[in-house]
Amino acid sequence: MAQPNGRAPSPLPPVPLSARAGSPQGTAPISSSESRSRFGAESAMGLLVENLKDRLLFAIPKKGRLHEKCLELLAGADIKYNRAHRLDVALVQNHPIALVFLPAGDIPRFVALGSVALGITGQDMIAESTHADEITELHPLGFGKCKLQLQVPVNSPHQTIEELSGKRIATSFEVLAGELFRGVDAQVGGGKGGKTQVEYVGGSVEAACALGMADGIVDLVGKSQSGDTMRAAGLHAIHTLLSSEAVLITSRTPHPTLTPALAPILPMIKSRIAGVIAAKRYVYASYNIQRDALETALKITPGRRAPTVSPLDEGGWVAVSAMVEKKEVARVMDDLEAAGAEDVLIMALENCRVGV
């Protein structure tokens, strides 16, 4: 704050290193190791900020249900980086990219406002952020699948959305829950009990009903959990607000730092990530079959786009290759064998490009 004479205030005098906590002089001394650690962190951050120029900024969830899967994607896409301890920015070594590790709920806003060029987050987070109209979803990532559901106790007298009008709802999704119940309240004439109270709860939302804090909750149910947490809390779902999965996103308005030199990196990242996802989902199937049984075989292995069919030297036989979903491999092999296929081979895909 400026002084009355217009001058900036004088800096506070430094605390003597000899000071001790609880003594008249003030606080405890800063150890030499702490001083070196602080200096190292400040120096590292200064270098990072300087090196963010001329780099595409890519936001990654820093923790939670999406974090580990995102790290696997980055490794599969050959995006190499070293992340210093306690720093949320990492420079990529083999591309002009900087990774910014942020809470998944903040990423839609950072992308929409142009603070970063790319991001990975959940569709639920995009909807809750209110920035969906400013965001383009580049590619679904196939993980982090869940449903945002309205849940009530199994023995509750309120078993429909309309019956919850005017009651108390606990959630960490205030925006989406608020939108839902504004519509419900309007439909039932404002609710016999008045306006529905949507209250924010940051964690352990499923406990709110048991603790008497709410009559219902709006919370995520993960695909892998299949509602185990919900059922353990004595709850069941009566309405689904949305289904969600992780997605690669960018802003509808080009990022200001997306120079002509950096612009090609965006589709490159999209293509690499799509290839990693396809390699996890598909395997490569190859087999030989007589031409008169080919039509039946192609119905079993239609391929991702279309199968490849090549004639063999032996008359009346063809070789077929196609991408097959990994989860269907055993059934596909059984059906091919029944159709007369021979020399059926299944090969894992290390990586691929699938044309997105």
Read off the pLDDT of residues 253-307 as tens digits, 9 standing for 90 and up.
877 777 888 889 999 999 999 999 999 999 999 999 999 999 999 999 999 889 9
pLDDT for the residue numbered 114 = 86
Across all residues in the chain, what is the average pLDDT? 84
CA distance 221 to 230: 8
Q: What angle do CA 131, 135, 136 make, to 5 degrees?
A: 155
Same fold, 146-244 and 282-348: no
pLDDT for the residue numbered 16 = 43
Residue 193 has pLDDT above 90, yes or no: no
Going by CATH, does the domain composed of 41-143+247-263 fall within 3.40.190.10? yes
Determine the average pLDDT of the residues in 67-94.
91
Read off the pLDDT of residues 120-162 as tens digits, 9 standing for 90 and up.
999 999 999 989 999 999 999 999 999 999 999 999 888 999 9
Task: Using the structure block, give the residue that is written with the tokens 């190292």.
Answer: 40
CA distance 195 to 182: 8
CA distance 71 to 80: 10
Task: Please state, as a whole number, how many other Cβ atoms lie within 10 Å of the Cβ of residue 65.
Answer: 16
Q: Report the side by side order of strands in the sheet with 282-290.
A: 308-311, 317-325, 282-290, 342-348
Q: Map residue 323 onto helix, strand or coil.
A: strand
CA distance 77 to 71: 10
Q: Are strands 308-311 and 317-325 parallel, antiparallel or unpaired?
A: antiparallel
Which tokens hold the place of 339?
């159709």
Which tokens hold the place of 12?
């506070």
- SS3 percent helix, strand, coil of the chain, rounded to 5, is 30, 30, 40
pLDDT classification of 48: cutoffs 50, 70, 90: low
pLDDT for the residue numbered 6 = 45
Q: Map residue 71 onto helix, strand or coil.
A: helix
Contact 293, 299 (CB under 8 A): no
Residue 4 has pLDDT above 50, yes or no: no
pLDDT for the residue numbered 259 = 84
Sequence-separated (6 or more) residues with CB below 8 Å from residue 282: 304, 323, 324, 325, 326, 349, 352
pLDDT for the residue numbered 2 = 45
Which tokens hold the place of 355?
């044309």
pLDDT for the residue numbered 172 = 93
pLDDT for the residue numbered 229 = 76
Sequence-separated (6 or more) residues with CB below 8 Å from residue 26: 15, 19
Q: Are strands 56-61 and 97-102 parallel, antiparallel or unpaired?
A: parallel
Which CATH number does the domain 146-244 belong to among 3.40.50.720, 3.40.190.10, 3.90.700.10, 3.40.50.9100? 3.40.190.10
Task: Using the structure block, give the residue that is written with the tokens 């806003």.
Answer: 109
Q: Map residue 84 onto helix, strand or coil.
A: coil
Top pLDDT among 41 and 326 is at 326
Question: Torsion over CA of 257, 261, 264 and 268, rounded to 10 degrees?
Answer: -90
Q: Are strands 118-122 and 168-171 parallel, antiparallel or unpaired?
A: unpaired
Fold designation for 282-348:
Alpha-Beta Plaits (3.30.70)
Which tokens hold the place of 236?
């069941």
Contact 202, 248 (CB under 8 A): no
Percent over 90 (pLDDT), the chain: 60
Residue 42 has pLDDT above 90, yes or no: no
Where exactly are the structural domains of the chain?
41-143+247-263, 146-244, 282-348
Please report how many Cα atoms fall inside a 13 Å half-sphere around the Cα of residue 25, on the Cβ side.
12
pLDDT for the residue numbered 239 = 94
Task: Please state, as a whole number, how many other Cβ atoms lie within 10 Å of the Cβ of residue 323.
Answer: 22
Read off the pLDDT of residues 304-349 as tens digits, 9 standing for 90 and up.
889 999 999 888 999 999 999 999 999 999 999 999 999 999 999 9
